[in-house]
Amino acid sequence: MTMTPAVRKLALTIHLTSSVGWIGALAAYLALGVSAVTSHDTQTVRAAWSAMEMIGWFVIVPLALAALLTGLVMSLGTPWGLFRHYWVLISLVLTIVSSVILLLHMPTVSALAATARASDGAHLDALGGDLFHAGLGLAVLLVILGLNVYKPPGLTPYGWRKQLEQRTASRS
């Protein structure tokens, strides 16, 4: 199944917007995490954790799911395919893993945000800023971005079979 050029451009626009948006939102989340770690002001730490929770649930999670869904649409509706090239397969696996970890981690962010709102200033230093998850997530998303920009060569065994079938069919 191949998309028409107009549908492909629309799907690509939505995919790029959600993917790059996910990276940008995660960078903002990371900046808030740094603020929560470095600030000694109680209100700043509380505000940072509240903002991290809101950005997580209302921006990062929807963008992650949109990037995953539109990536599937792009791979299934274009000649790249879902299982033909290693870079597509690796991007898919990393996106799924990142999305699952994000969904499993967000309840913890909500709990820590609630703790930050309820705690007195003396206990806020123990919360930290969730730098590990955000930093590692950003690194993984940048790897996915690099794979999708550079598209390193390498066909999967399925891709080799499909390529051979297409060559055989075109000779007939």
84-110 pLDDT tens trace: 999 999 999 999 999 999 999 999 999
Name, in order, each residue with C-beta under 8 angstroms of 158's C-beta and a sequence gap of 6 or more.
Answer: 83, 84
Residues 137 and 134: their CA atoms lie apart, in Å, by 5
What is the per-residue pLDDT for 1?
Answer: 66
What does the pLDDT look like over 38-84, one tens digit per residue? 998 999 999 999 999 999 999 999 999 999 999 999 999 888 889 99
| Global pTM exceeds 0.85 | yes
CB 19 within 8 A of CB 26: no
| Of 12, 162, 156, nearest in space to 87 by CA | 156
Residues 131 and 112: their CA atoms lie apart, in Å, by 13
